């Protein structure tokens, strides 16, 4: 209900991108189908869900999103990221007249280089000295 309200009131469509199990038709696939039939908030890709397929999955998501919605912006966010929808909307609306804009790596706060830390960033070195 909250996602429908967001779509109706603000024009923001939220979908979860799910890849299929390597074992087609297994219990995981059935659970995905059951949940999707209740929530209708998945984009289910026929390709297998696997870490080595991540870049392909992202590409397929953008293809499907563009085919499904005529939008000003398409946003991909990992499932472990909290998104402040209002702040993101304000940031994006400032770029409505900018063609083909890419915004990425919006990390703020401390970057954790210690692999034992809960929020460890394996590419920490891309963000500076680890504290900025």
> Does the residue 3 lie in any domain?
yes
Residues 93-122: tens digit of each pLDDT: 899 998 888 777 656 677 788 889 887 878
> Does the residue 107 lie in any domain?
no
Write out the two tokens for 44.
């289910």
> Does the residue 53 lie in any domain?
yes
The residue to which tokens 């919006």 are assigned: 106
Question: CB–CB of 58/76 below 8 Å?
Answer: yes
Binning pLDDT at 50, 70 and 90, where does residue 128 land? low
Binning pLDDT at 50, 70 and 90, where does residue 55 land? confident
Please give the Cα distance from 115 to 123 (Å, whole number): 11
> Does the residue 30 lie in any domain?
yes
> Does the residue 121 lie in any domain?
no
What value does the mean pLDDT of the chain take? Answer: 83
- Average pLDDT for 24-37: 87
Domain count along the chain: 1
> Does the residue 86 lie in any domain?
yes
- Average pLDDT for 128-132: 55
Domain ranges, residue 15? 1-102
Question: CB–CB of 21/28 below 8 Å?
Answer: yes
> Does the residue 117 lie in any domain?
no
> Does the residue 55 lie in any domain?
yes
């Amino acid at each position: 209900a909250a996602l429908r309200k967001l779509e109706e009131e603000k024009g923001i469509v939220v979908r979860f991108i799910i890849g299929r199990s390597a074992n087609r038709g297994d219990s995981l696939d059935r659970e995905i189908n059951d949940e999707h039939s209740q929530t209708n908030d998945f984009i289910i890709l026929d390709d297998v869900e696997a870490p080595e397929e991540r870049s392909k999955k992202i590409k397929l998501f953008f293809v499907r999103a563009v085919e499904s919605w005529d939008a000003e912006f398409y946003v991909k966010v990992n499932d472990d990221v909290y998104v402040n929808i209002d702040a993101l909307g304000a940031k994006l609306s400032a770029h409505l007249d900018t063609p083909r804009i890419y915004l990425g790596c919006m990390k703020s706060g401390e970057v954790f280089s210690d692999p034992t830390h809960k929020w460890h960033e394996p590419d920490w070195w891309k963000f500076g000295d680890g504290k900025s």
